[in-house]
Amino acid sequence: MNWTILPANGTMFMIIITYQQTINSPIMISGVGLHSGKKTFFCFIAAPLNYGIKFRKTDSAGQPVIANLAASIKQLY
């Protein structure tokens, strides 16, 4: 469960509670990369409870898992 506290009108706060959700079956998406123009493929697979969102690079040796995507960006196009 995640808690998000947002200022509502300056003195009051609105609390939003978000519960974990999962997908029933894998979701596959393919298309052309926005910046590279290369064919891109994503497959979303349900993960164990409290695993979080992680990415696996299947085009790299060892297929590394990237847990913090923003911290892993080395170059912007």
Residue 12 belongs to some domain of the structure: no
Instruction: Count up the domains in the chain and report the number.
Output: 1
Please give the average per-residue pLDDT across 1-22, as a whole number: 64
Whole-model pTM: value is: 0.48
pLDDT recorded at residue 32: 92
| pLDDT > 90 fraction of the chain, expressed in percent and rounded | 6
Domain residue limits at 56: 23-77
Residue 49 belongs to some domain of the structure: yes
Residue among 47, 42, 38 at smallest CA distance from 30: 42
Residue 17 belongs to some domain of the structure: no
Residue 30 belongs to some domain of the structure: yes
Amino acid at 50: N
Residue 71 belongs to some domain of the structure: yes
Residue 52 belongs to some domain of the structure: yes
Residue 2 belongs to some domain of the structure: no
